[in-house]
Structure 1
Amino acid sequence: MKFICEKNKLQEAISVTQKAVTGKSAMPILQGLLIDASEGKITITGSDIDLSIETKIDANIIENGKVVVDARLFGDIVRKLPNSSIEISSATDNSIEIICEKTKFNLIHMSADDFPVLPSIDEKNIFSIEQKLLKNMIRGTIFAIAQEESRPILTGVLVEIKDGRINLVALDGYRLALKSEAIDSDGSIKAVIPGKTLNEVVKILEDEGVVNITFTSNHILINLGDTKIISRLLEGEFIKYTSIIPEEYSLKITVERNKILNCIERASLVAKEGNTNLIKFDINDEFMVLTSNSQLGNVREELNIILQGEPLQIAFNAKYMIDLLKIMDEEEIYMEFSSSVSPCVVKNKQDDNCTYLVLPVRLLNN
């Protein structure tokens, strides 16, 4: 193997493919990157079996070949090299030589034959979506996935495509996040993508261009042209989320998102010290009072609102409210309530493309 390529392109390709290398595998080969020099391109692949990322870059291929190198060390070396052309070649049966200007490294490699073969996916049933739109939808839901592995299906995000719309849904038992957008597709898909996969996908997606996506019964392929991401899907039945979202409410308020977010963030400073993160909402005709008490003190915030319905007292974990308010993008939002022990539903005032649900914390007097 021997090739010459630009440092910046190689560094970017390493950075992308390293996202699939967790370093936690018992198989040493999975702590490496597969480098394949052939057909005028360098193909670099990282994998932990569940998630694989492959990217191609242009290079001057002098001699075809492929090796596996330690992902972390190879990435560190390339990053520290001068911004110039890099020549990489096989030095011995088990090492490669990396030359850049007056710097020379010899690096031990592993056999490419031991690297796992990526799943073969037939890209017939493709649906396309704007990268920016998909990125915003992932960001708008992924914060609500379950962190504990006790219910594995909830550590992923449900993707539903039907009737010309795409829905992304995440829930963890305390809150639910739903983003919905119209897309040009007449297909029907229902699959759960691991949150770990989408956390890496959102770092790779850009603000321009289209991404092509293919689902199989077990895998998803996200094709960005030179970069392909293949991930296994989570097995099992996702919760019927539509039955969780209340269809009716007895109280609705209109409020400025930034103002209520700032109030809750300030109130949570005291709430955190009490280890409960509890914020109490006292909703009245023209304003809402937010309070929090702990051993170190208390706080009171007053906020103007527009109210439809009867006054209500209800309490929430501040973190859950802060997470969703930060991710929303409209200045005015609706908050819908049914009772002090029923979920609160939060929506945009203008664009009906998201629904957030937060369970309240039960107050003693309720």
Structure 2
Amino acid sequence: MKFICEKSNLQEAVFTVQKAITGKSSMPILNGILIETNGSELILTGSDIDLSITTKIEATILEEGSVIINAKLFGEIIRRLPNDDINIETIDDNTTQILCKKSKFNIINMNTNDFPELPNINENMLFSIPENILKNMIRETIFATAQDETRPILTGILFEIKNKTINLIALDGYRLALRFETLDNDNEINAVIPGKTLNEVSKILEDREDNVDITFTPNHILFNLGKTKIVSRLLEGEFIKYKSIIPEEFNLKVTAKREELLNCIERASLMAKDSNTNLIKLNIEENNMIITSNSQLGMVKEEVNIILQGSTLQIAFNSKYLIDVLKIMDEEEIILNFSSSVSPCVIKNKDKNNCTYLVLPVRLLNN
């Protein structure tokens, strides 16, 4: 194999496929990048079996072939080379040479026959969605996925498509995030994608209106962005019936300015950080919400102007869960719905109806 390509193009391609390589695999082959030639293109692939990313770049191919090189070392070498064309060729079965200006590296490569075969997916595209919309939908739900493996299904996000609507749902037992958009598509899909996959997908998606094509199989999902393809296994099992968790009736409704409320809760949380629950208390009154926190460090009191519809209420929360929600919402005013001091709080935008967030309260002894 022998080819020449621009450093910037190669560096970006390596950075993209490295997202699928954990570097922790007991199989050395999975710590490498597969580099293949195809006509005037170079194809780079990274995989940890569960997640695979392939991307193509233009190159001058002088000799066809393929090679696997340790991803971490190759990435570091390419990143530190001068900004010029890079010449790469295999010297023998075990060695690949990298030349750029006066720099020369000879590195040991691996046998391409040992690289895992990627799932063969028939790309009968099920639906497409603008990159920027999908990127935002992932960002606005992924924070609510479970971080521990006790219930593996909750480490993923449910993709639910029906009635010309796409829903993304994440929950971890303490909070729930639901984000939805209308979709001109009659397909019905119900699949759970690993949070790790969607975290990497969101980094590759760009903030533009170009479509990403998405194909599902019984076991895999494929994201096709033209030059780059991402294939991931789906999580097995049945997702929690989330609709039964979200209350539909409430005793009181609070309208508040999102940023003002966020700032007050963030300040109050400073005093709560010495406890595992990050406990803050909300005393909801007629025209204001009093936020307090007491700990061994001291106490804090904050007040926020609100519009209250309904009776007053005292309720407590893990401040981190409220902060996570308020940070990713983007409207100036939001609605907080409550039923009791031991019932979930449901948070929505005031104007645009495209998301629902649920946070469970912390049960206080006097409740």
TM-score interval, smaller chain: over 0.9
Percent of matched pairs sharing the same residue = 67
Whether the aligned pair in 2 keeps the contact of 1:261 and 1:322 (CA below 8 Å) is yes
Count of aligned pairs:
366
Partners of 2:318 and 2:46 in 1: how far apart? 39
Partners of 2:333 and 2:150 in 1: how far apart? 37
Deviation at 1:227, TM superposition (A): 0.2
TM (norm. structure 1) is: 0.99
Partners of 2:93 and 2:183 in 1: how far apart? 51
Q: Secondary structure at the match of 1:315?
A: strand
2:182 pairs with 1:197: no
Deviation at 1:275, TM superposition (A): 3.6
- Mapping of 1:16-55 within 5 angstroms? 16-55=16-55
2:122 pairs with 1:94: no
Partners of 2:341 and 2:102 in 1: how far apart? 70
Whether the aligned pair in 1 keeps the contact of 2:125 and 2:213 (CA below 8 Å) is no
Aligned partner of 2:357 in structure 1 is 356
Letter aligned with residue 149 of structure 1: E
Unmatched runs of 5 consecutive residues or more in structure 2 = none
Unmatched runs of 5 consecutive residues or more in structure 1 = none
Q: Which string of whole-angstrom CA distances, capped at 9 and with x for unpartnered residues, describes residues 229-282 of structure 1?
A: 000000000000000000000000000000000000000000102343101000
2:82 pairs with 1:82: yes
Partners of 1:131 and 1:278 in 2: how far apart? 37
Deviation at 1:25, TM superposition (A): 1.0
Partners of 1:329 and 1:286 in 2: how far apart? 23
Deviation at 1:337, TM superposition (A): 0.1
Aligned partner of 2:294 in structure 1 is 293
Partners of 1:154 and 1:317 in 2: how far apart? 20
Whether the aligned pair in 2 keeps the contact of 1:274 and 1:295 (CA below 8 Å) is no
Q: Secondary structure at the match of 2:90?
A: strand
Partners of 1:126 and 1:188 in 2: how far apart? 9
Aligned partner of 1:257 in structure 2 is 258
Deviation at 1:126, TM superposition (A): 2.5
Partners of 1:112 and 1:284 in 2: how far apart? 67
Whether the aligned pair in 1 keeps the contact of 2:126 and 2:187 (CA below 8 Å) is no
TM (norm. structure 2) is: 0.99
Deviation at 1:363, TM superposition (A): 1.0
Whether the aligned pair in 2 keeps the contact of 1:249 and 1:337 (CA below 8 Å) is yes
Q: Secondary structure at the match of 1:132?
A: helix
Partners of 1:268 and 1:280 in 2: how far apart? 10
Q: Secondary structure at the match of 1:282?
A: strand
Aligned partner of 2:328 in structure 1 is 327
- Mapping of 1:7-18 within 5 angstroms? 7-18=7-18
Letter aligned with residue 139 of structure 2: R
Aligned partner of 1:108 in structure 2 is 108
Whether the aligned pair in 2 keeps the contact of 1:30 and 1:115 (CA below 8 Å) is yes
Aligned partner of 2:137 in structure 1 is 137
Q: Secondary structure at the match of 2:263?
A: helix
Partners of 1:125 and 1:86 in 2: how far apart? 36
Partners of 1:325 and 1:343 in 2: how far apart? 16
Q: Which string of whole-angstrom CA distances, capped at 9 and with x for unpartnered residues, describes residues 166-205 of structure 1?
A: 0000000000000010111111000000000011000000
Partners of 2:193 and 2:160 in 1: how far apart? 11
Letter aligned with residue 95 of structure 1: T
Please give the root-mean-square deviation of Cα atoms over the aligned residues, in Å.
Answer: 0.6
Letter aligned with residue 78 of structure 2: V
Aligned partner of 1:309 in structure 2 is 310
Partners of 2:174 and 2:56 in 1: how far apart? 42
